[in-house]
Chain A
Amino acid sequence: MTQSSESSGPDYKAFPDQNGHFGRFGGRFVSETLMAALDELDVMYRRLKDDPQFQADFDYDLAHYVGRPSPLYLAERWTKQLGGARIWLKREDLNHTGAHKVNNTIGQALLAKHMGKKRVIAETGAGQHGVASATVAARLGLECHVFMGEEDIRRQRLNVYRMKLLGANVVPVTSGSRTLKDAMNEAMRDWVTNVDDTFYIIGTVAGPHPYPMLVRDFQSVIGREARAQSLKQAGKLPDALVACVGGGSNAIGLFHPFLDDRDVAMYGVEAGGDGIDTGRHAAPLSAGRPGVLHGNRTYLMEDDNGQIIETHSVSAGLDYPGVGPEHSWLKDIGRVHYVSADDNEALAAFRELTRIEGIMPALESAHALAYARKLAPQMDADQDIVINLSGRGDKDILTVAEIDGIHF
């Protein structure tokens, strides 16, 4: 690590600080009842993350239960069609349960086990984190309750039934906009009530400290693998990384191990919904401002009175008014570029990848594909883009069919 370009940025690995701050973002903004539980979790995590046995257990589960490492796949036909940089797909869609979410739930389930908690709760938007939580709960024999907005339950019926088959109780959330943010409110309320015996498995790099840190650490396996695979398969580091950003766990998982590699450009793609200029979107980094929600300070979609406003996206997993605090910090210091793709662009990318590579992406991941589609032709043929294909699109078939006017 002697290249000058590698030492010019901040010491990314030193963040967050002891209190969970990434610059002015992050922290721990929760009601007093939860402070002791967060302290307990923080102490336990700091102890276990350097414990070789804990890491060995985590790695074992990732290899034998999740099926890691996930491949780095060169999309040759799509590369040829776009006529620019080589496009590589990090195949998180091939993980057990079909998305990157399981990397994190495996890690948090191990923490829950170490802390002796018998009951786990989770919030979910698209249902992928709910399924991944229900899956690890089934495997460890834990009682599992998943909070899900009524609107998302309608959009993601298949995942709801999957969770029920796995033995989880899916709790419909009818407050507010009935989507992911309200599911998170309700999960927090459950946690405050059952804090003694309950572990809250947060699905993204948001929430109060230490969640943004520990979820990032568990998801960083994506970037560590992608970095090694790039060196081996492409013979060099990629020139650009692209990932979709809702809460931002798949993006931070890919980006974090590359942060010191100054020549690797990074693009986080938010959900543009009907278009940023319509106001109907879910892109706080592109068009929001800092505030405090769900236990941390970060960019939010909010009005002039500090009320959180409703978001819009064709993909339930990106339909969230906040974003992980580390992304807010990476935006402000300019290390990562945050851009957006709207519903139509994402749907077009969904169809295109399905037809040209035989890979059906999740609508969330399709936002990353949509941006890469614009980026690749501007780059040279000897350059490489790694896109995080964070999940598979099976769960979205009903949504896409509805848009096509087909009803089963």
Chain B
Amino acid sequence: MSRIEACFATLKEQQRKALIPYITAGDPTKAVTVPVMHAMVEAGADVIELGVPFSDPMADGPVIQKACERALAAGTGLRDVLAMVTEFRRDNDTTPVVLMGYLNPVEIMGYERFADACVDAGVDGVLLVDLPPEECDEVAPLFKTRGVDLIFLIAPTTTDARISRIAGAASGYLYYVSLKGVTGSASLNVEEVARRVETIRNLAQLPIGVGFGIKDAQSARAVSQVSDGVVVGSALVNQSAENVDTPDRIAPAVAAILADMRAAMDKQ
């Protein structure tokens, strides 16, 4: 059983929902990322989405755009991100790590080399924002045969036929994007999310995480009640932005937000 599968199985048994934090690797320094990952696990994170910085993050709002710029200024490339996962795995062999980013850095490394590197580093899943299932026939088997999950987005605009197609290509979990827009956008509509998650459940077997627009304990709790997990990104990345000159403060600040969310999600 993969780490992601085991993680969601355990959560289901405990009747809890997954807390899935996102941070951009190397923001604002390379050294800060692995300690923040451990702090997130301490604070109750179940799966970590680690962002691979890209020069042209088309699906991201200003918060993660700036994070990418800081990470690139610190010299963070895909190889560095993989090295961070290797380092994280020295002290943590259970928390799933998903690399999230855009296709081009992977394309330039080469898909087979990247898939091998994921296995070596202990990466459990890969979410490439600009790689829809239509374009992944060649690369999907490279990940599948190595046991690395390919995670896909489902959007408010995704038709039922496409949901089925995406579910057929995906493994690990599905990531429902709660609103039309970029990351860090305005508040989401929980009732609308609940309706869409029901639709997806009828068409797919995988656990469903929901992201975009979750910024505090209250929204995390609300979304967790209608899904299998919540993804939180910009709210955490903001802590890097505010502590660029005091990077030691990032891990405790991120952990505090996650601990609040964890408590709200676990409250009976």
Give the interface of A toward B (CB within 8 A).
19, 27-37, 175-176, 181-182, 185, 188-189, 192-196, 290-295, 297, 300, 302, 304-309
Give Cα distance in the complex from A73 to B85, angstroms: 63
A177 to B129, CA, bound (A): 22
A193 touching B180 by the CB < 8 A rule? yes
Question: Is B108 in contact with A32, judged by CB distance below 8 angstroms?
Answer: no
Pair B185/A292 contact, Cβ less than 8 Å: no
Which chain B residue has the least Cβ–Cβ distance from A186? B58
Shortest Cβ distance from A208 into B: residue: B130
B157 touches A36 (CB 8 A): yes
Report the nearest A residue to B159, measured CB to CB: A36
Contact of B58 among A35, A188, A304, A305 (CB under 8 A): A188
Choose one: B78, B103, B152; the contact of A29 (CB below 8 Å). B103
Task: Establish whether residues B56 and A189, one from each chain, have CB atoms under 8 Å apart when the complex forms.
Answer: no
**Which of B58, B129, B166 has the most chain A CB atoms closer than 10 A to its own CB?**
B58
> Quick one: which of A176, A195, A196, A291 contacts B107, CB cutoff 8 A?
A291
Q: How far is the CA of A32 from the CA of B153 in the complex (A)?
A: 6
Query: Could you list some 7 contacts between A and B, CB below 8 A?
Result: A32-B155, A33-B59, A34-B157, A35-B132, A36-B158, A36-B162, A302-B104
How far is A188 from B54 in the complex, measured between Cα atoms in Å? 16
Query: Does B168 touch A at the CB level, under 8 Å?
Result: no
Most buried by A among B102, B180, B185: B180
Q: Are A32 and B158 also in contact (CB < 8 A) when A175-B65, A193-B180, A302-B108 are?
A: yes
A304 interface neighbour in B54, B102, B108, B162, Cβ under 8 Å:
B108
Interface residue B253 (Cβ < 8 Å from any Cβ of A): no
Asked whether B141 is an interface residue with its Cβ less than 8 Å from the other chain, the reply is: no
Chain B residues positioned under 8 Å from A34 (CB to CB): 157
B243 proximal to A (CB < 8 A): no
Task: Please tell me if the beta carbons of B130 and A29 are within 8 angstroms of each other in the complex.
Answer: yes
Verify B135–A176 contact, CB threshold 8 A.
no
Q: With A196-B180, A307-B54 known to touch, is A28 a contact of B158 (CB < 8 Å)?
A: no
The answer to whether B58 and A176 touch across the interface, beta carbons within 8 angstroms, is: no
Which among A31, A185, A297, A302 is the interface contact of B129 at CB below 8 angstroms?
A31
| Chain B residues near A304 (CB-CB < 8 A) | 77, 108
| Cβ of B106 under 8 Å from chain A | yes
Q: Are B104 and A306 in contact (CB under 8 A)?
A: yes
Are B155 and A33 closer than 8 Å at their CB atoms?
yes
The 8 A-B pairs at the shortest CB distance, nearest first, are namely A306-B108, A306-B105, A305-B77, A33-B155, A193-B181, A32-B153, A36-B157, A307-B55
- B56 proximity list for chain A (CB < 8 A): 176, 181-182, 185, 293-294, 308
Which of B68-110 touch A at CB < 8 Å?
69, 72, 77-79, 102-109
Closest chain A residue, CB of each to CB of B135: A27
Contact of B61 with A189 in the complex, beta carbons under 8 Å: yes
- Inter-chain contacts of A192 with B (CB < 8 A): 59, 180-182
Q: Residues 205-229 of chain B: 1 if any A CB is under 8 Å from the residue's CB, otherwise 0? A: 0000000000000000000000000
Across the interface, do B135 and A308 meet the contact criterion of CB distance under 8 Å? no
Tell me whether A31 and B134 are in contact (CB under 8 A): no
Q: Are A28 and B152 in contact (CB under 8 A)?
A: no
Q: Which of B72, B78, B79, B135 touches A28 (beta carbons < 8 Å)?
A: B135
B54 surroundings in chain A (CB, below 8 A): 306-307
B103: A residues at CB distance < 8 A: 29, 292
Given contacts A30-B130, A304-B108, 6 further A-B contacts (CB under 8 A): A32-B132, A36-B162, A192-B59, A292-B107, A306-B104, A306-B109
- Residues of A within 8 Å of B159, CB to CB, are 36
Residue B19 is within 8 A (CB to CB) of chain A in the complex = no
Interface residue B48 (Cβ < 8 Å from any Cβ of A): no
